Amino acid sequence: MDSSHPLECFRCGAEHRFEPPFCPECGQVSPGLVAGGDLSVIVEDVASEKLRALLLTKIKAWFRQVDSLEADQKLKRGRWVLVSGVEEESGNRLVEALRSIKIPARLGREPGWPQALWNGSLIISAIAGLFAAFSGPLWAFLFFLTAVAAPVMGGMRKLRQMRPVIAAQFRDPHANEWFALGRWYSDLLHRLEPEDAALLKAVAGAVFDLRNRLSQPTLIATAAGERHGELYQKLHDTLATALDISRRIAECAPADRDPLRTELAQALDLLAKTQTWFRGVEQEGVKKTENLVEDLDQITRSIDRIVGEARAPETRSGLREPDRVT
């Protein structure tokens, strides 16, 4: 697929306003979501200026915190490391996404010192070594220094060049959880009736929208402060609950689906109300921090209620299981 929109899903082509953890249309995990490991994504020389510009836009969309100036400079200098310290699945996904826009990339290991020392400066080193052997003591010492320093300097240059654009701290500590949710989501989309799939997509879209608003440098996000992490977790829980309700919709008899659909609709309703609240505060921008914190607390309590109520019938249905067999 030749995707040119910076936030286009490389799997299904759906366009997004911001980079979601996974695509609400198909469940494809974002290439920017990477988990820790010992591999690197290496980008080969990109000759075309147009392709380089597209790549830079994509990188900025996938990794919001990236230093675009550094990325831009590296792009012009042949082979470079986009991200290092990633596990295989994340790395392969990123490579696939890069190849979908015709960027030559591969998964590999970064060069360490032994490989870095093996560079072009070794020729200088060899010549200096030869001169050292046939010179007087002072000149021999100077040539000897050159012979040692040349490959080290060359190695340092090589290592600097191979320093990844995306540093380890950019990795999402919850990446594995999102991978699992993305897989579950994608599987459910195939098993649900179209109207139920649409409802689940709406819930995912709302959760991602709120998650994105929380990550912006806004007054609310600041007010959320320590609750920031907690709210992220609540949003994650809401989505996991919605997935669980959807799973039960997919698995139960058609006659039993309506109460579950109502639960899902209630979760969506709460998310929509929260979105309206967020938008209101973002536009007004005058609320006091204490009031924001109070409102945020109320939101987390509401989410807890939805998550708690949705889980309760699950336990009851487990007890009623024999009655439900059709």
Binding site for Zn ion (CB under 5 A): 9, 11-12, 14, 23, 25-26, 28
Closest CB 14 distance from Zn ion, rounded Å: 5
Closest CB 10 distance from Zn ion, rounded Å: 8
Instruction: Characterize 135-172 residue by residue with b for buried, 16 or more Cβ atoms within 10 angstroms of its Cβ, and e for exposed.
Output: eeeeeeeebbebbeebbeebbeebbeebebbbeeeebb
User: How many C-beta neighbours within 10 Å does residue 42 have?
Assistant: 23
Instruction: Please give the Cα distance from 185 to 179 (Å, whole number).
Output: 10
- Looking at the Cβ atoms of 25 and 237, the one nearer to Zn ion is 25
Here the tokens at position 167 are 């540093």
- Looking at the Cβ atoms of 14 and 51, the one nearer to Zn ion is 14
C-alpha atoms less than 13 angstroms from C-alpha of 217 in its C-beta half-sphere: 2
Closest CB 21 distance from Zn ion, rounded Å: 12
Amino acid at 125: S
- Looking at the Cβ atoms of 11 and 248, the one nearer to Zn ion is 11
CA nearest to 215, candidates 64, 90, 68: 64
- Looking at the Cβ atoms of 74 and 93, the one nearer to Zn ion is 93
Closest CB 204 distance from Zn ion, rounded Å: 11
Closest CB 26 distance from Zn ion, rounded Å: 3
- Looking at the Cβ atoms of 11 and 93, the one nearer to Zn ion is 11
DSSP code for 252: S
